[in-house]
Structure 1
Amino acid sequence: MSHKSRISWLLVAPLLLLVLIGFIIPIGYTMTKAVDNADVTGALPRTVSVLDRWDGAGLPSEAAFAALVQDVTDTSSAQAFGAMTRRLNFELNGARAVMMKTRRELDSLAPPYAESLPAAIPEWGDPQMWHLIKTNSNPLTASYLLRALDLEITPEGHIQPVSQDRAIFVDLFQRTFWISVWVTVLCVLLAYPTAYYISTLSDRAASYAMLLVLVPFWTSILVRTTAWFILLQREGPINAALEALQITDAPLQLIFTRFAVYVAMVHVLLPFQILPLYSVMKRQGPQYIKAAASLGAPPWRQFVSVYLPLTMPGVAAGAVMVFMLSVGFYVTPALVGGLQDQMVSYYIAFYTNQSINFGMVAALSLLLLFFTAVLIAVARRLIPNLGNTIKG
């Protein structure tokens, strides 16, 4: 390696270290939680070892019952026991209550435990609980990823769709991408004429116009969203103006609607579309348009065949940026949207702060990252073809 190369690597080393420590390692660790399944094995090691030799027919042997009682007795860490019960309850509703009751009944149990344990807690006389522990004894699991796709692993180890009342995540992903696509389309439609107008101004006037575009960057997203929350209230100024102009006879339901989500998100993200468009448009000289005009092309043809293809890189760059930011929005839909307008990030926050289920947090995050990457990859392949089609 040459001396200049070593100097170059030394200069970029702090940035690479920052990316590694602040991005790659945390994201990578979070992603591993999507398949991590150490809770049951860590809290019930003896039970897991015995059930590993169980063929799944009927009830397990006395050794499994004794191992379960011993494991529950020896689990000194409340955190480990709680993590194990939450993990089992995630797979089978009511499993946590069974484990908690088992812990309370330990003093009343006596050998043979294959008789005393089911007598005290009838659920242990059902193979379902034992299948549940055996299924979740593997240190790796696809359960969280499957649940994020509205699928589940049964206690017997089969994959099946979840019940209709719990099938929410496929619709959630569809809603997230649908909202993001429409926000991106609206931003492109609003930003294109705005950026074109600014690009035709003198340098002094354009600098003032761009200052107005950049003003939202100096204001918190929470503040901007709260402003729309106030404006769109039934007693807010927008409804008051509509009634004063006799456009409506009664206040409209504007807040907690999909309309409010679109308005607030477009307001926040519009500058991200204007900036790359303006940058591209500013570099386009008039010679191409003049050449098209000299060949007899009408104004609409000049735009469609010449100007639009030349500015497509700006459209694409801004659209990708807006879309990627949209799919991760949380504050804006949470404040101005209704229950049917929430996006994936809302449930990521729910599992982080309320359910304390980091497996589902990681699974939803991983799938969101994967689906977004796929859509961006497809868009990158389609945009050149789209530009060539328009140009032709």
Structure 2
Amino acid sequence: MVAPGFVAIGSGPAGVSAAETFRSRHRLIPVRVLSADPALPYAKPPLSKQYLCGSSAALDLHSAGWFDRNDIDLILGVTVEHIDTRNQEVVTAGGMHYPYWHLVLASGSAAVPLAVPGGDSALSLRSFGDAVALKMAARHASSAVVIGAGLIGCEAAAGLAGLGLATTLVAPETVPLQRRFGLDVGQRVVTMLSDAGVRYVGSTTVTAVDATGVLLSSGERVDGDIVVAATGVRPDIRLAAAAGLATLDGRVVVDEHMRTSVPNVFAAGDITLAHNVSAGRLVAAEHWRDAALQGRVAGLTAAGYPAAWDTVPRFACSIGKVTLTYRGWGGAFDSGTLDESRNGFSVTYRARGRTVGTLDATASPAA
């Protein structure tokens, strides 16, 4: 029989950080990480940055030996079927039962499928396996179409263009990142993409994908040896919802300590809508750094130590020679004040007169 202890579902930064933090406080309690991904835990941001572009990328969160030395049982390639909160155990599709005293749910997000004829043939860029497949395909291609002009879409398009592929980025928005950063920034992102060798086609949607490219709602056809679907992600809350955890707007509701509505169950990372002390409200965690910080808070709280999510969320995106760095709580804004600087620009976003975020764009010296 498996001894009860600490269990984390998910091997991303939230799950690994939670397990690492709990283990640092309790050396003798069993600690397990369950993951459907067969790969050793890795960081995802470099996949659309350094790794795709062929640069050196530190992907591993920890080595296999690190997990062994810290007595963390890393169980990869396993699908969790359901969480039994009444008996406090996690049940896998293979019939294994893992009893827990403390459980951290960090199941992350799943890519939103491209729901058009032929859409299932498009490549995605969500996992390490996806990145390997895309990188290999790029070696034998001369052109690419990327669908979706969010952060990942922009980075992937610039990366493919950097590999020498004639790359087109297609999206329904007039300009890239318009909903997140506004029209002024989006217009500048078009220039960044153009400088990186990417053609942007906006205000249109893809209606079909075939072996030689995509067909657009405008009637235009865009050829591409590779088609990449960067059509967004959706928090994977299936286990949480089935277990009866409180959810809102497609995410698991947690307090500032990462506690869910069910005793001894915590959540961290993409799936959460967490109370951020600095913001004074619920905030969706959408990026690697936030997930790792939330995982640490969950691990400390589960271990019996005081901890709260009180940091301002932050993330960075690289498009060609320009790095965009955002700090803030996301969501809607009433206005954005843009100021030019020597090597780029900055934007301050406000809602109801209160600053809710800042964006800094900085070009590398070689740009």
Verify same fold: TM over 0.5. Answer: no
TM-score scaled by structure 2?
A: 0.21
Larger Rg: 1
Higher relative contact order (CA 8 A, sep 6+): 1
Task: Judging by fraction of residues, say which structure has more helix.
Answer: 1
Task: Judging by fraction of residues, say which structure has more strand.
Answer: 2
